[in-house]
Chains A and B, each alone.
Chain A
Amino acid sequence: QVHLVESGGGVVQPGGSLRLSCEASGFSFSAYGMHWVRQAPGKGLEWMAYLGPGGGEKYYADSVKGRFTISSDNSRNSLYLQMNTLRRADTAVYYCVRDGLGGSDYWGQGTLVTVSA
């Protein structure tokens, strides 16, 4: 059974940094691409970043390019999102998502990041 469990969210001041983690289980983690998707309070879904199988490909939304870095540790079956220079507009629930090619087929429960002074 596929499980994705995010952690690392919290309250951070503008300009600060945070690292989100996602622990995956129930599937061959290194064989799948993975995404981070976020949702600001009361708003829609926003795709953030993608890491290809094996970690070779990386893509980012323009809104976070140069500030956020997606990475993985296959030995720990874990996905990460390093977030630097955080802005109030980055306040959102961040979801770890498995790429199913034709759609994102498994989602974690999300972790809330609040950027506030």
Chain B
Amino acid sequence: DFQMTQSPSSVSASVGDRVTITCRASQHINNWLAWYQQKPGSAPKLLIHDAFSLQTGVPSRFSGSGSGTEFRLTISGLQPEDFATYYCQQVNRFFPLTFGGGTRVEV
């Protein structure tokens, strides 16, 4: 099975900061990676698909990069509504489609 390792597990930041979250895959997954945002009490929301493609309606301050085994989610200019938990997931059709452990972005 693919293992997905996210770091850091939590990050303290302020409005306006640039935040980068890393996700490492145990095996090469090309660009088959998605990023999600989850706020307390709500379902996750897809932010980035195929490693760097912004989902429709997601603000452009979110960006994804990387390929192969190392990926990054960057939030450029953190906004108050961005304080949440972020997850990566490998979606390369080799099941199980493993999630990373999550990164909590907090004040």
Question: Chain A residues in contact with chain B, CB under 8 A?
Answer: 35, 44-47, 50, 59-62, 95, 100-105, 107-110
Given known contacts A45-B99, A102-B34, A108 and B43 CB-to-CB distance under 8 angstroms: yes
A59 touches B48 (CB 8 A): no
Count A-B contacts at CB 8 Å: 64
B50 touches A47 (CB 8 A): no
Q: Complex Cα distance A87/B39, Å?
A: 27
Interface centre among A45, A59, A62, A95 (most CB of B within 10 A): A45
Selected from A44, A59, A102, A109, the residue in CB contact (under 8 A) with B91 is: A102
Selected from A45, A47, A50, A109, the residue in CB contact (under 8 A) with B102 is: A45
6 tightest A-B CB contacts, nearest first: A103-B34, A102-B49, A103-B49, A102-B50, A59-B95, A107-B43
Given known contacts A47-B89, A47-B99, A103 and B43 CB-to-CB distance under 8 angstroms: no
B34 touches A44 (CB 8 A): no
Selected from B44, B53, B91, B95, the residue in CB contact (under 8 A) with A45 is: B44
Q: Whose C-beta in chain B lies nearest to the C-beta of A33?
A: B93
Given known contacts A45-B102, A47-B96, A103-B91, A110 and B43 CB-to-CB distance under 8 angstroms: yes
A103 touches B55 (CB 8 A): yes
CB distance from A7 to the nearest CB of B (A): 15
Residues from 29 to 76 in B contacting A, C-beta threshold 8 Å: 32, 34-36, 38, 43-46, 48-50, 53, 55
